[in-house]
Amino acid sequence: MTLTIRPEEKSDFEKVGELTREAFWNLYRPGCDEHYLAHTMRDHPDFLGDLAHVAVLDGVIVGSILYMKSHVQNERDEQIETATFGPLCVDPRLQRQGIGTQLIEHTKRLVIGKGYPAIIILGDPHNYCKHGFKNGKDFNISSTDGRFPLGLLVLELKKGVFEDHRWRFKECAAYELDPEKVEAYDRRFPGKEKEHRYSQELFGMMIRAYLD
Ligand SMILES: CC(C)(COP(=O)(O)OP(=O)(O)OC[C@H]1O[C@@H](n2cnc3c(N)ncnc32)[C@H](O)[C@@H]1OP(=O)(O)O)[C@@H](O)C(=O)NCCC(=O)NCCS
């Protein structure tokens, strides 16, 4: 079994879409929209194409990570450009075997090489604390409303870069999806049952949870 992490190519797009749909289906909501997100973000001006990578196991794509530019802005309206990943996914049959870790670690080195001082994501802390992510509150980075969502996670790559200021993070508009377009895009894929799962309740609690 040989696992390779390599840059995503155009010929991978279809397979990455299928994989993303499989990995996210019914996880955070009945059905999912992350495969449509992957499809649309590649055309967005903030897409960081050179950071898009796939994990390939014995010639088969089993993992994917996609990045966008993002930024934080402080109380003086000064901005710092940051990198944001997502969707990140691994074939459900191969999760918890280190593939996601390899995708993060490999691309993290590239993000450092590009000079970004931090990776900032909205995600489940369970998946990311292991990789050194901390809550935005630890760096005084809030969402645009000034609150500190549990899932606003920051991996500081240049020590002290956020010191002495209050910052607000706004996810790239590419992450805001039109549900009708998601549905229309999903019809290109084989039919799949939408179901209610307890993981959706957990997710619903997480996105309503804030740090004091
Ligand atoms: C999240 C995901 C990309 C991680 O990839 P992976 O290959 O499974 O990850 P790894 O095996 O490298 O590491 C998994 C680690 O995540 C953490 N983790 C993941 N799920 C967890 C959970 N439910 N509870 C606690 N820790 C969890 C653990 O630290 C775990 O490490 P361990 O197995 O050594 O304890 C993959 O599970 C996935 O595709 N999930 C579905 C899609 C998704 O949720 N993507 C992320 C959106 S926030």
* HEC-encoded secondary structure of 78-115: CEEEEEEEEEEEECHHHCCCCHHHHHHHHHHHHHHHCC
Mean pLDDT of 12-31: 98
Contact 99, 62 (CB under 8 A): yes
Question: What's the rounded Cα separation, in Å, for the pair 81 and 160?
Answer: 15
Whether the per-residue pLDDT at 1 is higher than 90: the answer is no
Collapsed DSSP state (helix, strand, coil) of residue 162: coil
Domain count, the chain: 1
CA atoms within 13 A on the CB side of 104: 21
Residue 100 C-alpha to ligand 1 middle, in angstroms? 7
pLDDT bin (cut points 50, 70, 90) of residue 171 is confident
Query: 26 lies in a domain?
Result: yes
Query: 63 lies in a domain?
Result: yes
> What pLDDT, in 10s, does the model give residues 76-131?
999 999 999 999 999 999 999 999 999 999 999 999 999 999 999 999 999 999 99
Residue 132 C-alpha to ligand 1 middle, in angstroms? 14
pLDDT at 83: 97
Query: 177 lies in a domain?
Result: no
Contact 107, 65 (CB under 8 A): yes
Whether the per-residue pLDDT at 62 is higher than 80: the answer is yes
What b/e readout covers 72-81, taking b as 16+ CB neighbours within 10 angstroms? bbbeeeeebe
Number of the ligand 1 atom closest to the C-alpha atom of 130: 29
Tell me the percentage of the chain whose pLDDT exceeds 70.
100
Query: 181 lies in a domain?
Result: no
Query: 185 lies in a domain?
Result: no
For the record, the structure tokens of 210 come out as: 């804030």
Query: 179 lies in a domain?
Result: no
Q: Ligand 1: which residue has its CA nearest to atom 26? A: 126
Query: 182 lies in a domain?
Result: no
Of 96, 152, 206, the residue with max ligand 1 atoms within 8 A of its CB, to mutate for a pocket test, comes to 96
> What pLDDT, in 10s, does the model give residues 144-165?
999 999 999 999 999 999 999 9
pLDDT at 204: 96
pLDDT at 106: 98
Provide the CATH number for the domain around residue 206.
3.40.630.30
Q: Ligand 1: which residue has its CA nearest to atom 34? A: 96
Q: Ligand 1: which residue has its CA nearest to atom 37? A: 95
Whether the per-residue pLDDT at 66 is higher than 90: the answer is yes
Mean pLDDT of 37-45: 96
Residue 98 C-alpha to ligand 1 middle, in angstroms? 8
Q: Ligand 1: which residue has its CA nearest to atom 31? A: 96
pLDDT at 123: 96
Whether the per-residue pLDDT at 52 is higher than 90: the answer is yes
pTM, 2 dp: 0.96
Residue 166 C-alpha to ligand 1 middle, in angstroms? 30
Number of the ligand 1 atom closest to the C-alpha atom of 95: 8
Residue 9, domain extent = 3-172+194-211
Residues with CB under 6 A from ligand 1: 23-24, 27, 88-90, 95-101, 123-124, 126-127, 130
Q: Ligand 1: which residue has its CA nearest to atom 27? A: 126
Whether the per-residue pLDDT at 176 is higher than 80: the answer is yes
Query: 139 lies in a domain?
Result: yes
